[in-house]
Amino acid sequence: MPLVGRLVVAWLANAAALWVADALLGGVEVDGWGPLLVAAAVLGVLSMVLRPVLVVLSIPLVILTLGLFLLVINVVLLWLTAALVDGFAIAGLLAYLATVLIVWLVNVAVDRIGVRG
């Protein structure tokens, strides 16, 4: 699959995951489709650009915590997304952790189905 196709699938997977989080969790608020799609795009860009830098900078913590610090990095990316996108908000640490889990599960499902190529 071409790069543009993979990016569109990743964007739609993030949008689906955030929509599921909004539907299931009381601490996640999305004010319509516009903010949902923007939040999915921002999360995708942050995950593609900022996440690798944060992972490299925190390798000692990742090793020390046996990888659990990656969860903290993902929560930070979600927090940044919520801070940057009007109409998208997450309230409370448990809501952040549950949203990270939902985003991860949806992305694993998309990868298993083989949609991303």
Q: Tell me the per-residue pLDDT of 67-81, one tens digit each, with 9 for 90 and over.
A: 999 999 999 999 999
Give the pLDDT mean for 90-98.
Answer: 95
Which DSSP string corresponds to 61-83? Answer: HHHHTTTTHHHHHHHHHHHHHHH
Per-residue confidence (pLDDT) for residue 111, from 0 to 100: 85
Per-residue confidence (pLDDT) for residue 4, from 0 to 100: 85
**Predicted confidence band at 38 (pLDDT cuts at 50, 70, 90)?**
very high
Give the pLDDT mean for 15-23.
Answer: 96
Average pLDDT, the chain: 93
